[in-house]
Amino acid sequence: MLIKERLFTPGPVPLPPQVIKALGQQIIHHRTPEFTNAFLQVREKLQKLLKTKRDVLMFASSGTGAMEASIVNFFSEEDTVLVINAGKFGQRWREIAKRYNLKVIDYEIPWGKTYDKEKLIEILGKYPQIKGILVQQSETSTTTYHDVKFLAEKANEMLEDCLIVVDGITSVGVYEVYPEEVGIDILVTGSQKALMLPPGLSILYYSEKAEKRLDTSNLPKYYFDVKAESKKQAKGQTAYTPAINLILALNESLNLILDEGLENLAKRHEVMAKATREAVQELGLKLLSESPANSATGVYAPEGINADDLRKQLLKIGFRVAGGQDHLKGKIFRIAHMGYFDFMDMIQVIAGLEIALQKIGYPVEFGKAVSKAQEIIREVL
């Protein structure tokens, strides 16, 4: 029996046909006018995506590479940083900062929750020496959204020289993320999420305020040297061999994003997220996050059911969803709705969830969750 596999994981995500076509073309050499022209087109489109005229750099790495670049280029040994640690990737900020001998104030938050505004203000008041705040805008492991704008406003109000460093790996291309409007100093993202590419390309924006740190940072850097890359990339080249076909494919995915319009893009993601969240709750399931992101939805499996068994059942009928990490393994599953998804994709996965739950022994009234998703989607069509 033919059963197609449908990918609903929060990275990698499905690829549009235009991207697949670009990836499949014969490779070109990167030290050519042809590549330089394409590279400069991508650079300009990334600036449009973020509403900036400033540098937006590309590295041949996963998003973690750009996270490391934002530490080694803009901080110095013994600098104090505050980490908003609310999940697996908040932990990663902490680990990178400690590896480079930064002094870390670890604001640990239970998974599925966001930071407390009063607690944040208390920490900022207690530690005026903070040089940077490291945060995820969308914490993928817990599908939680953090309000970066409030954080930036308070930091700029209370601290003398603090950079707001944001992991936007599952927020760029989902929300309208405009660093200069929000107060973000360093923003990183990766290719395999809402930018609709395979893994292997990371992106870094830095503000004028952050640029002043480039000359004073004393941390070791070689491959992730922002000053070296900035000089090269302004001319349509890279310091080292780039991810050639990924950059050519990014040109195509950015065309899709900009043609849709950034406001429409954000609205589509908002509606897909709302439809998914309300549909799973209609089935009596509980959301993981108290501040849910629009990139993916984390859901607790029903009592007595292992979430990974439910995921296996979903895969049998053609739906690959993600599981939980660390202590949430076997307890939750995550449904992605970022990038190359539309409203009907969400109807499909909710219908599949109803079938999988019923097959695993959970009582389901067929069509109930699907109807809820349809109601929400119908309002915007």
174 part of a folded domain: yes
User: Is residue 7 included in any domain, yes or no?
Assistant: no
Domain boundary among 231, 259, 287: 259
Residues 247 and 278 in one domain: no
Mean pLDDT by 10 residues, the chain (381 residues): 97 98 97 98 99 98 99 99 98 99 99 98 98 99 99 97 98 99 98 98 99 98 98 98 98 99 99 99 99 99 98 98 98 99 99 98 98 97 87
Same domain, 269 and 251: no
- SS3 at position 81: strand
Indicate the burial class of 261 (C-beta count within 10 angstroms; 0-12, 13-18, 19 or more): exposed
Q: CA-to-CA distance for 367 and 371, rounded, in angstroms?
A: 6
- What secondary structure letter does DSSP report for 301? P
Domain encompassing residue 132: 17-259
Q: Of 240, 259, 278, which residue constitutes the final position of a domain?
A: 259
Note the pLDDT of residue 381. Answer: 87
User: Whole-angstrom Cα distance, residue 111 to residue 295?
Assistant: 17
- Asked if 251 and 293 sit in the same domain, the reply is no
- 270 and 229, same structural domain? no
Instruction: Look at residue 203 and give its three-state secondary structure.
Output: strand
Domain identity same for 271 and 233: no
CA end-to-end span of the chain: 34
How many separate domains does the chain show?
A: 2
> Are 62 and 172 in the same domain?
yes
278 and 306 housed in the same domain: yes
Q: Are residues 232 and 321 in the same domain?
A: no
Q: What is the CATH number of the domain that holds 316?
A: 3.90.1150.10
Q: 173 with 189, same domain?
A: yes
CA atoms within 13 A on the CB side of 227: 13
Contacts of 82 (CB under 8 A, 6+ apart): 105, 107, 123, 124, 127, 130, 132, 133, 134
Of 224, 259, 294, at which residue does a domain stop?
259
Enumerate residues 6+ apart whose C-beta is below 8 A from 20: none
Domain shared by 200 and 291, yes or no = no
Q: Residues within the annotated binding site for substrate?
A: 334
Question: Which residue has tokens 């990339």?
Answer: 233
Do the beta carbons of residue 128 and residue 159 sit within 8 Å?
yes
Question: Is residue 373 included in any domain, yes or no?
Answer: yes
Domain for residue 8, yes or no?
A: no
Residue 269 lies in a domain: yes
- CATH code of the domain in which 239 resides: 3.40.640.10
244, 266: one domain: no
Which residue positions form the known binding site? 334
